[in-house]
Structure 1
Amino acid sequence: MREQPSWLDAQSGEIFQAFSPPHLVCIGIIAAVVWLLFILRHRIRSRTGLRTLLRWMLAAILLASEVCLHLWYIHQQVWDASRTLPLELCSITLLLSIVMLATRSRLLYQLLFFAGIAGALQAALTPNLAYEFPHFRYIQFFVAHGVIILASLYMTWVEGYRPTWKSVGLAMLFLNVCALVVWIADVLLDANYMFLRGKPDTPSLLDVLGPYPYYIIVEEAVAFVFFSCMLLLFRLLSGKRESISEEVTTCE
């Protein structure tokens, strides 16, 4: 039997190192692409064909990343309902981001601007990842999480959608509904999706939020504060960079 390449092997021994040079490069690439989208937003917005192409490209990348991940699970014989179903928050927001981009749903935007960006950003900074660069899972992980962030920012900067205080409430409601549904799945599958039954083995923000199960309650407060800060920052930057007339025009 031919030995498979190490970048694809599920038993690869190279363990992810937080804030290593490859990790910092990935964070830098995501930040650079976000900045590029921001500075090109007017040009993209004014070209209908380019705008449509970019929207579908983002959706296609998200879909391809999820499909490739599950094909990899199957190929490596590691698919397991207790570990590989798309029941993590970022997996849920990834799938909903595809729908949002395809349908330009304003309701999904209200949820994903906060839950999608915040969840994917936290995951990119403190990944629950067992593989080091250039493993397939490493690349797939950062591509998927980076594009989750880009999806909501595209809808904001190019399509002209805007988050509101109502969006914060909807996002909090969304998180709690997701947590309830996923917790039921965790119990039925003896799983730990969304870390509702224990902390991850790798370092994460949860390490500073207290022991189980109290960190789940603290997460609620942290999410609300973070979402509120995101909205205030967005409004501050919008006030400095966007004229009122432009904002009205892009929301129509």
Structure 2
Amino acid sequence: MSYSSFFGRSRDADFSMFSASHWIALASVLVVCLLLFGCRFALRTRRRLRLSVRLLLAVILLSSEAGLQWWYISQGIWKTDSSLPLELCGLTVLLSAIMLLTRSRILYAFLYFAGIGGASIALLTPNLVYPFPHFRFLLFFISHGAIILASLYMTWVEGFKPSWKSLAFTMLSLNLTAACVWVANSMLGSNYMFLMRKPSTYSVLDYFGPYPYYLLVEELFAFVVFLCMYLAFFWLPERVRSRNQRMNRLPY
């Protein structure tokens, strides 16, 4: 493999969604998530190991964004209307690193939903043109996988939990963020967060109707995804646990 085919701007082929390399990348992210889940008890009892994992994840997140910016500059294509970290996943990369370094519950309340939900959708339908083993392909899946791992770490190891207030806070924060990014788009002539038009590659937005209606459908879709994330992984298990505890206290 030549340097240009790994790192260069040009490419011989385009990324193919749900190709073998895409499935392998998704499976790799899933395996690492399961490994973190399996190690959660060991991490809880080892302070230095917890700190090492938090710092490692933060370094991966910050390095992925630095690597992306370095690639833009090295290829002579860095532009204010396309290279700033103003996409949702670009923002959550940086916020996830800060959350890990500071153990911020406020950032966690936002990132559990927006980070995991947004990165998961991005992994399933990547806005990506470079195929494996290009640098951009590897960077995309590493950074988005690390976003998910950051919030899962805070949940499984540090014991953080979202709440109904977290869901409302996330929706409010997303709308405020979108408003700020819309202003930036208007000033820069950009399309960050796809607020001005849909991406050129296939995405879930293709099912949400034309502009600007897809923005409203996207917000409803985000709310439903976040709601399911809370109900399935927190509200329902807690209800089942409480019910079992009540049943165990009943006299026979």
In the superposition, the TM-score normalised over structure 1's length comes to: 0.93
- The answer to whether the 8 A contact 2:54-2:100 is kept is yes
- The answer to whether the 8 A contact 2:4-2:10 is kept is no
Listed as ranges, the gaps of 5+ residues in structure 2 are: 246-252
2 CA distance for matches of 1:17 and 1:143?
Answer: 18
Listed as ranges, the gaps of 5+ residues in structure 1 are: 246-252
Change (3 A) 1:69 1:240: farther
1:250 paired residue number: none
1:249 paired residue number: none
Moved over 6 A (4+): 239-242
1:185 is displaced (CA, Å) by 0.6
1 CA distance for matches of 2:65 and 2:172?
Answer: 25
Q: Deviations over 1:215-238 (max 9, x none)?
A: 000111111111110001112346
What SS does the aligned partner of 1:6 have? helix
1:106 paired residue number: 105
Q: Deviations over 1:157-205 (max 9, x none)?
A: 0000001010000110111011001111111110100000000011111
2 CA distance for matches of 1:112 and 1:136?
Answer: 26
2 CA distance for matches of 1:41 and 1:240?
Answer: 22
2 CA distance for matches of 1:200 and 1:58?
Answer: 29
1:239 is displaced (CA, Å) by 6.3
1:76 paired residue number: 75
2:131 paired residue number: 132
Q: Percent identity?
A: 52
2 CA distance for matches of 1:84 and 1:239?
Answer: 45
1 CA distance for matches of 2:153 and 2:140?
Answer: 20
The structure with the larger Rg is 2
Aligned pairs (5 A) from 1:25-44: 25-44=24-43
1:11 is displaced (CA, Å) by 1.6
**What is the Cα-based RMSD across aligned positions, in Å?**
1.7
Q: Deviations over 1:83-113 (max 9, x none)?
A: 1100000000110001100000000000000
Aligned length: 242
1:6 is displaced (CA, Å) by 1.0
2:47 paired residue number: 48
1:41 is displaced (CA, Å) by 0.4
What SS does the aligned partner of 1:7 have? helix
Task: Kindly provide the amino acid, as one letter, of the partner of residue 72 in structure 1.
Answer: W
2:190 paired residue number: 191
1:130 is displaced (CA, Å) by 1.2
2 CA distance for matches of 1:191 and 1:83?
Answer: 6
1 CA distance for matches of 2:131 and 2:12?
Answer: 9
1:119 paired residue number: 118
2:169 paired residue number: 170
Change (3 A) 1:150 1:238: farther
1:4 is displaced (CA, Å) by 4.5
Task: Kindly provide the amino acid, as one letter, of the partner of residue 212 in structure 1.
Answer: Y
What SS does the aligned partner of 2:160 have? coil
1 CA distance for matches of 2:173 and 2:25?
Answer: 29
2:159 paired residue number: 160
In the superposition, the TM-score normalised over structure 2's length comes to: 0.93
Task: Kindly provide the amino acid, as one letter, of the partner of residue 119 in structure 2.
Answer: A
